[in-house]
Amino acid sequence: MSVHVMRKSKFFAILAVLLAAFLLAGPVYGAGEPNRPDYHFTPNSSWMNDPNGMVYYAGEYHLFYQYNPDALVWGPMHWGHAVSADLVNWTELPIALYPDDVGNIFSGSAVIDWQNTAGFGTEAMVAIFTHEKNGRQMQSLAYSTDKGRTWTKYADNPVLPPPNNIRNFRDPKVFWYDDGSGFDHWIMLVSAGSMILIYNSPDLKTWTPTGGFGLGYGATCGVWETPDLFKLPVDGGPATKWALTVAIGGCAPAGGTGTQYFVGDFDGTKFVSDNPKETVLWADYGADFYAPQGWNEAPDGRHVWAGWMNNWSYGQDVPATTWRGSLTIPRELKLVTTPDGIRLAQQPIPELAQRRGEHWHWQDETIAPEKNLLDGITGDTFEILAEFEAPVDSPADRVGLRVRTSAADATIIGVTTKRPSLFVDRSKSGQVDFNADFPRVHVAPLTPVDGRVTLHIFVDRTSVEVFANGGQTVMTEQIFPAADDQGLVLFADGGEAKLISLDIYRMLSAAGAAAAPTEPTSSRSSLVIVAVILFLLLAAGAGIFLWRRR
């Protein structure tokens, strides 16, 4: 082989290595990815679904979640882990729980064992989760004595096998029950088909069944999952009631999966609903609120929860590059008295106000069909607080906002007046062709109060969350607009409407600056383009070099 040929071979070998490095390099994660939310939690990479193990300890809110680190779809489940001091700014930590010989790590909860009832250590953080192997589901334990940074699986797992070998037996929710009478113990709720089984334990290791709830109650057209049970004051007063929530695997108001709830009483052994069996109460009327869980030990006596912002009907199809799945904004829960009975209300946590930036305000304005009061305001992340007059005799048929708009696309959030309802129309919200179940109009019941409606809306790059009339009606929806769908429109259809007040805040990024542009800072396609250009430049240089050496 000649010297020239050897040099040429080495050159192209080096070039091939450089090209391969560029092609194999992963994309850079960050807020610049076009579909990554700015102020909702997402994993840095890979698939996430249900939130798990929600607990507050030593100044940190812990968020664990169903996680498949090896793909953008559901697979062998791990527990991912993140922490936050304020429920707004999150730090992702290493994976907490990995699959093992007993099985994959399905959903569950976490508690602080203040009295060391399990013997794992005073103030041990204990995770109670479902082990799954070959379809068999059983409940197991793991514990941490260093604020959740490292975990040890209990040697005698599982602690609760499935009764009668039933197939669906998962998602344990555990909390400490103490009614002040000395009847204190651990409670575990486990989903089992279309019902919830209830157990108690003195030590988290030995569990005794005390009953169940659900046969024939509420919506039963899908498997129940991820139960939660908590006590709340009614109307902020001394009277209390318990709320039992369950995710359901079908027939939700917007289609596919959703979350229903029951209001009643709990005595430490059994739950009794206040409502007839046929009463169905939905926590959210949008398409993308599933498997919510509340933080155990949350300070100030409040109950805060968040859910997986997705729907199993299309959850594995939504546009994704390096990650798939996100958490809703955390919501504070309340029980309020309505003409129909005691109902659950959700309100965005006040901590989100730290993300407020540029502010616009209007008051006592007329919304005319041919005029947009918001002309000139553009962006992709907003908090919006609006109050409209919406009587049944209003000249306008519909009133509301169009967000993330362009000449072709818009997500429409509005109120109908003649037959009062709240709706979100995402049929032309951007990219909608990935699944036939996605581009739809979703509708929720809404009763104006004294002819007025309030809307509290959070718009992020790929979602809208709508809280109407103090959070008594809630809708959570994913959207996938183009990066340049940045318009904002206040509208009234069919006639004029009265705007009582409107406040719009541009949401800031975690760094305290305006949210970064939605143009991608890096992607696999851009790396390929760079690699090709580099290849052509180097090849051209090599050709010149070899030609000169002739």
pLDDT tier at 542, thresholds 50, 70, 90: very low
Q: Where are the alpha helices (DSSP H) in 407-523?
A: none
Whole-prediction pTM value? 0.88
Residue 232 near residue 335 (C-beta atoms within 8 A): yes
Query: Do the domains at 46-348 and 361-507 have one common CATH topology?
Result: no
Q: What is the 3-state secondary structure of 158-196? A: CCECCHHHCCCCEEEEEEEECCCCCCCEEEEEEECCCCE
Tokens representing 311 are: 């729907």
pLDDT, residue 395, reads 95
What tens digit of pLDDT does each residue of 483-503 get? 999 999 999 999 999 999 999
Judged by phi (left if over 0) then psi (alpha if -120 to 50, else beta), residue 408 lies in alpha
pLDDT, residue 181, reads 87
pLDDT tier at 385, thresholds 50, 70, 90: very high
**Long-range contacts (CB closer than 8 Å, 24 or more residues apart) made by 229-234:** 229/173, 229/175, 229/187, 229/189, 229/266, 229/271, 230/175, 230/294, 230/303, 230/333, 231/266, 232/303, 232/333, 232/334, 232/335, 233/334, 233/335, 234/335, 234/336, 234/337, 234/342
Does the pLDDT value for residue 365 go beyond 70? Answer: yes
Does the pLDDT value for residue 533 go beyond 50? Answer: no
Does the pLDDT value for residue 536 go beyond 80? Answer: no
Among 27-31, 124-128, 141-145, which is the least confidently predicted range?
27-31
d(CA 6, CA 258): 65
Determine the average pLDDT of the residues in 152-156.
99
Domain boundary assignment for the chain: 3-27+523-548, 46-348, 361-507
pLDDT tier at 544, thresholds 50, 70, 90: very low
User: What order of strands is seen across the sheet that includes strand 136-144?
Assistant: 104-113, 124-133, 136-144, 152-153
pLDDT, residue 32, reads 57
β-pair type (452-460, 463-468)? antiparallel
Domain 361-507, second-level architecture: Sandwich (2.60)
Does the pLDDT value for residue 473 go beyond 90? Answer: yes
Which one from 50, 284, 380, 485 is the annotated catalytic residue? 50
What length is written for the chain?
550
pLDDT, residue 25, reads 39
Which residue(s) pair with 384 in the sheet? Answer: 457, 504
Tokens representing 200 are: 């108690």
Residue 547 near residue 51 (C-beta atoms within 8 A): no
Does the pLDDT value for residue 176 go beyond 70? Answer: yes
Residue 414 near residue 465 (C-beta atoms within 8 A): no
pLDDT tier at 33, thresholds 50, 70, 90: confident
Tokens representing 3 are: 């010297």
Q: What is the C-alpha radius of gyration for the chain, rounded to an integer number of angstroms?
A: 26
Tokens representing 183 are: 């009847």
In terms of pLDDT, which residue wins out, 515 or 223? 223
pLDDT, residue 326, reads 98
pLDDT tier at 12, thresholds 50, 70, 90: very low
What tens digit of pLDDT does each residue of 509-526 get? 865 544 444 433 333 333
CATH for the stretch 46-348: 2.115.10.20
* 50 given a catalytic annotation: yes
Residue found by looking up tokens 């030609």 in the block: 547
Does the pLDDT value for residue 320 go beyond 60? Answer: yes
Contacts (Cβ under 8 Å, ≥6 apart) of 422: 285, 414, 415, 443, 444, 445, 446, 453, 455, 466, 468, 473, 475
Q: How many CB atoms lie within 10 A of CB 199?
A: 22
pLDDT tier at 546, thresholds 50, 70, 90: very low
Determine the average pLDDT of the residues in 11-33.
44
Phi/psi for 494 (5° steps) reads 90, -10
| Percent helix / strand / coil, the chain, rounded to 5 | 10, 45, 45
Give, as one character, the DSSP assignment of residue 275: S
In terms of pLDDT, which residue wins out, 100 or 511? 100
